[in-house]
Amino acid sequence: MDWPPIAGDPRFFRRSGPHSLATVAAVAGSTAPPGDLMLTGVAPLQTAGPDEISFLDNRKYVTALSQTSAGAVILHPELLEKVPSGTRPILASEPYVAWARVAALFHPLPPIVAGVHPSAVVAADAKIEPSAEVGPFVVIGSRAQVGPRCRIGAGAVLGESVVLGADCRIGEHVSLSHALLGDRVVVYPGARIGQDGFGFAMDRGAFLSVPQLGRVILEDDVEVGANTTIDRGSLHDTRIGAGSRLDNLVQIGHNVRLGRGCVIVALAGISGSTILEDHVMVAGQAGFAGHLRIGRRARIGAQAGVMSDVAEGADVVGSPAQPAREFFRHVAVLRRLVREATAKRSKRAAGTETDTD
């Protein structure tokens, strides 16, 4: 079956509006151009119609801008002259930020439906704010606390004494144990938070599990991606700093501490007791040994193998990880040596190699 592209398909996404051009511009932090245009939704440049708004944040798509039929477009002032005559420009120094706000205007989060679904299993001494929404087949353990305006998706499990602050969103089939969550924390479906860390001792050739006695603390505004796992601490807490974002399929070991505003991309793994200071960025599939310290605003490249501490502000890539400039210098030297060796083999094969070569 052929389904035409639709941004914000109403079967799946709640929509508000229409909104006036002036309202949309104000939400974007800009000033509206003249006109009384009403906008009904958002769409990409390639498919937007005269009553829709789009955006441009990447110069690669300037050609699409020149051909768009969008009624309005959010873009940087430097690209103003590229806007076609039938499209109203909304200027923003950070177009993607403005776009995020405008898209949220047209597609706000669904409202909370306060109450506990009849199929949910809730301990008698759990405390659930009346404004919270508890979905079907949710299990909430003894002494757990659910803050105001939280939403807990179907099949989620909150273990004993778990605490959710205000306005948290817990996705379907999430499990939370030994965990304390701040305000506005978002945990996407399938995430596992608070399970035993990977800790064991060797006893006469056999493994002896070490009790994991810490907690997981997710500070305000943290987001945890689908199927991500965060182990509780062994003695110290595992802590994810305020505003940090973890992508899908990330592994956080016991006692790990992330500072504020860290970004961890999919399939990265951080071994126990490693510390990431504020605003560290970790690209996909990077791996960290245990007991390391990664300095503030360091950037870790994709598939990097980090085996030693990283200085503040450093960019590292490769395995073992090394400073990016050094790594690419090594790559350039290696390529040059390969080219020279290939050229020598070609000369030898052709019989043109001399003694001075």
Residue 107 known to be catalytic: no
CB 297 within 8 A of CB 313: yes
Q: Residue 174 is which amino acid?
A: V
Q: What are phi and psi of 37, to 5 degrees?
A: -60, 135
- 295-308 core/surface letters (b: 16 or more CB in 10 A; e: else): bebbbbbebbbbee
CB 69 within 8 A of CB 54: no
Tokens of 352: 């043109």
Considering the candidates 19, 107, 178, 254, report the single residue annotated as catalytic.
254
Tokens of 297: 């605003």
Coil, strand or helix: which one is 100? helix
CB 225 within 8 A of CB 259: no
CB 181 within 8 A of CB 201: no
The residues, any chain, with a CB within 8 Å of residue 70's CB and separated by 6 or more, are 43, 45, 48, 49, 50, 52, 53, 54, 87
The CA distance from 249 to 251, in Å, is 7
CB 257 within 8 A of CB 279: no
The residues, any chain, with a CB within 8 Å of residue 8's CB and separated by 6 or more, are 15, 41, 42, 106, 107
Alpha helices in the chain (DSSP H): 21-27, 62-67, 95-106, 324-350
Active-site residues, by number, are 254
